[in-house]
Structure 1
Amino acid sequence: MRTTHKNCDSLGRRLRGPQNRYVWFWAFVGPFAAGLALFTYVPLVWSVWLSFFDAHNTVTPTEFVGLDNYTEILSAPSFTSSLTTFAVFSLFIVPATYALSLALALMVHRLRFAQAFFRSVFFLPTACSYVVAAIIWKLSVFNGVRYGLANTVLGWFGGSDIAWLSTTSPPWYWLVIVTVRLWLQAGFYMVILLAGLQRIPATLYEAAAVDGARPGWQVFRHITFPQLRATSVAVVLLLVVNAFQAFDEFYNLLSTAGGYPPYARPPLVYLYYAALGQGQNLGLGSAGAAILALIIAVVTVIQARWFGLGRRED
């Protein structure tokens, strides 16, 4: 008995660590880890499990259907069309956001005064909700009547009013969707790129000046941009993943009392209506979510390998 008690005390001391550090670690991390497992990982596993069942109006189905949900959603024209919408959205938003964020980072980095002020100003829209920003864009900026900001500016130059969100030829709704996303996220990626700029040694610029490099484009092309390679790769990866997850701005900008229009429907909007629409086919929606997660993982890995993320630089 005495040996068992001694072993238990020894095990307890090892679990607590020196000066009870492990106890304090789990006291702070434990609730977060439990919440993450309960509200993130358990629903993810449950969704994958649900995708193999016929789950109409229930999250506890009993009829196993195998891969039927995956076959059905992959053969649905609306789902493949939503993937096309994502591709178009990515072609607009990824390079535009990167270019704008890099331009803002370069501008703030070169400031000699009030740098913190301008960094905060450009970062501030990141704190705004996507739902609130979409409503502001829809009701105040691109609301389609002559009192909207965009149409007011057009009127100054003699232009006619445009129904921005309902005009499909030309598709003006892309301008609304892309600009609200640019306004919301450019400041966040500006901060990341700004941190990358601040890590570039000043000696590189001094050596370039000694070698006769002209300040401006030449220095940016041969020194600044190559030194930002790792940061730029991380930013592009985050932009692509965020583009896959686009939902709030699309739904709140384009949906009306009559429902969502058939155009500009990204994958998450399609899955929302598939799982929570009239049929409430949660099995089909879960299958689509699993396919979308797999696509995101594959695209991220391909991008990381292509850009050499994590590769040791010479």
Structure 2
Amino acid sequence: MLARLLGPQKRNLWFWIFTGPFVLGLIVFTYVPLLWSITLSFFDARNTVTPTHFVGLSNYATVLGDSAFTSSLLTFAVFSLFIVPATYALSLGLALMVHRLRFARAFFRSVFFLPTACSYVVASLIWKMSIFNGVRFGLANTVLRWFGADPVAWLSTTHPPWYWLVIVTVRLWLQAGFYMVLLLAGLQRIPRALYEAAAVDGARPGWQTFRYITFPQLRATSVAVVLLLVINAFQAFDEFYNLLSTANGYPPYARPPLVYLYYVALGQGQQLGVGSAGAVVLALIIAIVTVAQARWFGLGRKEA
């Protein structure tokens, strides 16, 4: 077995020396916890990660019958309804703008990509304490005061739900640059000859070339971007928790699935079995939605 891994004359030795630590880390920190979580989902595990009593599908029934879990899925649906099209539109606009620049293209690409390196926790605290602070000294309320409007408690006002503005804008600022780079790579792959042929045929630069050449040629990249945006929306946690949680706990509104699972598994009851079942259900939902989207968009389908 060892000789087969090393190959003839140990030609694969350096391959395993360099990749071995990463493979081992992937197994220890990803696959083992994943399999252990699936195992825990079939056991009654409270305040411990050691399975105690086999309960079968009881944990799954508890999760699916909990109105808080279904409410968290509704929160995700609302969040994705805002963040997915907004991020795609902003990223595409930035990519088109940077792609058309004749000078300092690398500078502006770096500037728009830079927020991606910022921590979600740090950005959430800046949005919460400086920009959308509920007191009149916050930046947003200062601007409102210039126009004679009253201050707004952005994160605690539910009618209308102003907290969505805070959550969506911080996520938009953090991730738009990353998807801009992906779309920019797609734009750079479009052959210049297509635009030259369109100009010969009388197509006007601007909306016509974008609608009939640029956007169709970005189809594969756009599908990948939308899939990544939906998956990332499912995994939203940091901005919700750091923006809405207070010393009194988390409010009953705007709880995405991961915040729900956090309080189930690590809250007062520490029902790790139920939390693991919820994580498995969430993973299955993400997989089903991703496959359904891929088939709907025709990802991987050969062009006719």
Local SS of the residue matching 1:279? coil
- Partner residue of 2:173 out of 183, 186, 192: 183
Residues 219-298 of structure 1 aligned to structure 2 (within 5 Å): 219-298=209-288
Taking the aligned partners of 1:144 and 1:18, their CA distance within structure 2 comes to 68
Taking the aligned partners of 1:90 and 1:57, their CA distance within structure 2 comes to 33
| Structure 2 equivalent of residue 69 of structure 1 | 59
Taking the aligned partners of 1:92 and 1:170, their CA distance within structure 2 comes to 15
Residues 1-314 of structure 1 aligned to structure 2 (within 5 Å): 12=3, 15-17=5-7, 20-314=10-304
C-alpha displacement at 1:62, in angstroms?
A: 2.0
List per-residue Cα deviations over 1:25-62 (Å, max 9, x = no partner): 11011100000000000000000000000000011122
Local SS of the residue matching 1:152? helix
C-alpha displacement at 1:235, in angstroms?
A: 0.1
Could you tell me the TM-score, scaled by structure 2's length? 0.98
C-alpha displacement at 1:17, in angstroms?
A: 3.5
Taking the aligned partners of 2:196 and 2:11, their CA distance within structure 1 comes to 47
C-alpha displacement at 1:147, in angstroms?
A: 1.1
Counterpart of 1:226, as a letter, is: P
Question: Cα RMSD over matched residues?
Answer: 1.2
Across the two proteins, how many residue pairs are aligned to each other? 304
C-alpha displacement at 1:156, in angstroms?
A: 1.2
Counterpart of 1:200, as a letter, is: I
List per-residue Cα deviations over 1:61-113 (Å, max 9, x = no partner): 22100000000110101000000000000000000000000000000000000
Taking the aligned partners of 1:169 and 1:34, their CA distance within structure 2 comes to 50
Q: Percent of aligned positions with the same letter in both sequences?
A: 82
List per-residue Cα deviations over 1:218-268 (Å, max 9, x = no partner): 100000000000000000000000000000000000000000000000000
Taking the aligned partners of 1:222 and 1:89, their CA distance within structure 2 comes to 31
Taking the aligned partners of 1:143 and 1:112, their CA distance within structure 2 comes to 40
The structure that has the greater radius of gyration is 1
Structure 1: gaps spanning 5 or more residues:
1-7
Structure 2: gaps spanning 5 or more residues:
none
Could you tell me the TM-score, scaled by structure 1's length? 0.95
Taking the aligned partners of 1:176 and 1:75, their CA distance within structure 2 comes to 31
C-alpha displacement at 1:135, in angstroms?
A: 0.3
Taking the aligned partners of 2:171 and 2:123, their CA distance within structure 1 comes to 9
Taking the aligned partners of 1:18 and 1:49, their CA distance within structure 2 comes to 40
C-alpha displacement at 1:18, in angstroms?
A: 5.8
Query: After TM superposition, what 4+ stretches of structure 1 lie above 4 angstroms from structure 2?
Result: none
C-alpha displacement at 1:157, in angstroms?
A: 1.2
